[in-house]
Structure 1
């Protein structure tokens, strides 16, 4: 399977005083604002590249994990993934994926193994050149 997805960004002004917007091909983000403040100071409404990477990584990982669980004949009730993207001195130095899953009839060791495999084969994980930490919690009834 091969496909192309598109997004665009527009920027006006200087790096610190300027501002821009991001639009995705699906239009789910349409002229969504970003700026120095939303990226480095968290001071106004808008997005930033790091949170978009975190969202992409969390979403990709959750879907990849779901496919791998299905291959092992399990179906998740829920897979909740939070991604924390650490930006330090001009570099993304680490991403931590916090996974909490509710998967009937799986034991914790199997869940850990499948989750770690998903982290390794997730297309976004493979794209990123940084440390990726995975923390796994299996909900038990």
Structure 2
């Protein structure tokens, strides 16, 4: 399986701008710019897209691992925060809240840790990955 996205950039780094389109067109000429990446401009940026990929992948892996262990999650919600420090993407911090009947705290933490370590996006990222997992 292969997925794709296309980025187009016009102009200089600070005054220019670009668009990103994914193969599915979920993102379709979505704008990004210097301001959206390094300040507070309109549009997306690579770190936001990395965070979205990590949150989605981890949450699906957690669901799969819980299901395999015999649990049925009612709800899983994950926020990923990707940090860009001095021009280097340094970390991704996952915060997940889960509602899962009949699971112990220890079971949940063990399964969540495994999902963090083994989701395909975590394996692809060469950065520090941290996790806060809470049962609600």
Give the drift of 1:53.
0.2
Stretches of 4+ aligned residues off by more than 2 angstroms = none
Pair 1:138-2:121 in alignment: no
How far apart, CA to CA, are the structure 1 residues paired with 2:60 and 2:38?
A: 30
Q: Which residue of 2 aligns with 1:110?
A: 107
Pair 1:63-2:60 in alignment: yes
Give the drift of 1:22.
0.2
Pair 1:122-2:119 in alignment: yes
Q: Which residue of 2 aligns with 1:39?
A: 37
Gaps of 5+ in 1: none
How far apart, CA to CA, are the structure 2 residues paired with 1:42 and 1:54?
A: 17
CA-based RMSD of the aligned residues comes to 0.6
TM-score by length of 1: 0.95
Q: Which residue of 1 aligns with 2:7?
A: 9
- Summarize deviations over 1:50-106 as a string: whole Å, max 9, x none: 000000000000000000001100011011000011100111111100010001110
Q: Which residue of 1 aligns with 2:82?
A: 85
Give the drift of 1:123.
0.3
Q: Secondary structure at the match of 1:29?
A: coil
Q: Which residue of 2 aligns with 1:26?
A: 24
